[in-house]
Amino acid sequence: MHVVVCIKQVPDSAQIRVHPVTNTIMRQGVPTIINPYDLFALEEALRLRDLHGGEVTVLTMGPPMAEDSLRKALTYGADRAILLTDRHFAGSDTLATSFALSQAIAKIGETFGAPDIVFTGKQTIDGDTAQVGPGIAKRLDLLQLTYVSKIASIDLEAREIKVDRRSEGGTQMLHGRLPCLITMLEGTNEIRRGSLDDALRAARSPIVKWSAADAGIEDLSKCGLRGSPTVVKRVFAPTARVEKAEQITTADKGLIDLADELIVEIFARQPALEQELAFDASA
């Protein structure tokens, strides 16, 4: 089987700073990493390849420096890495990004074989929109399975897949057909340690670099700033809360007494909540 994994190189959120005057993210000196959610997607793709055979192609869109993340993905065991890089992609929002990536995936299908599954992480830590994966699925007319916590089974002959999907009410068990796009949840697996052979291969393997023209993108008005209807107006750090937390002593108190005391404190601070709950109970 052929699996495509979309990853993104993002700034390490633990070291991001906001400029006090311009209110923009200060990227200088901030190390970049593979989006952590994408690592769960990559590991799941590698597991499927190990189980069913085939190839894993890793794709990212970004500046030339994004090659570092692709080589990291190769050290984990990916077979091929493709960097979609072009000045026309600068300033892309999720709509423009999903367009460019979908065009590149279509080109991958023509060049290296149609993918059976396209993987993404559930979202990225720099945007947190969770829109690119579904956007790619829509543009490529793929079945989309989002927030997947487990791939239960795959039948390549019947072209069927069964997955567990996390929902607000619990877990949904979904049965669909291939090809499809899957966005993986965090904590679903543990990324492997790459072997020495994979590390050596990653160091010498060429990274396939595609411009917009190489990826077969003809309508450049859908890329970059021109193809992005959304604009980030301002980025700011939240102000620190002045109010301090109140601690409830738990010594020599049973669970019921603690629960009653907690409810009393909540209602004291949120009287409207008590009235709303009383109204709902009487209705």
Would you kindly state where each structural domain of the chain is located, as residue ranges? Answer: 2-227, 241-282
Is the link from the previous residue into 64 a cis peptide, with omega within 30 of 0?
Answer: no
Q: What is the architecture, at CATH level 2, of domain 2-227?
A: 3-Layer(aba) Sandwich (3.40)
**pLDDT-based confidence at residue 245 (cuts at 50, 70, 90):** confident
Which of 15-19, 187-191, 276-280 holds the top average pLDDT? Answer: 187-191
Q: Are 41 and 57 in contact (CB under 8 A)?
A: no
Q: Are 74 and 205 in contact (CB under 8 A)?
A: yes
Query: pLDDT per residue over 128-186, tens digit each?
Result: 899 999 999 999 999 999 999 999 999 999 999 999 999 888 899 999 999 999 999 99
Mean pLDDT of the chain: 89
Please give the full DSSP string across 202-241, using - where no structure is assigned. HHHSPPEEE-TTTTT---GGGSGGGG---------PPPPP
On the 0-12 / 13-18 / 19+ scale of CB atoms within 10 A, 91 is: middle
Given this model, what pLDDT does residue 12 score?
79
Query: Within a 10 A sphere around the Cβ of 111, how many other Cβ atoms?
Result: 13
**pLDDT-based confidence at residue 22 (cuts at 50, 70, 90):** low
Query: pLDDT per residue over 30-75, tens digit each?
Result: 788 999 999 999 999 999 999 999 999 999 999 999 999 999 999 9
**Which residues pair with residue 48 across a beta bridge?**
none
Establish how many alpha carbons lie within 13 A of residue 156's alpha carbon, considering only the half-sphere containing its beta carbon. Answer: 12
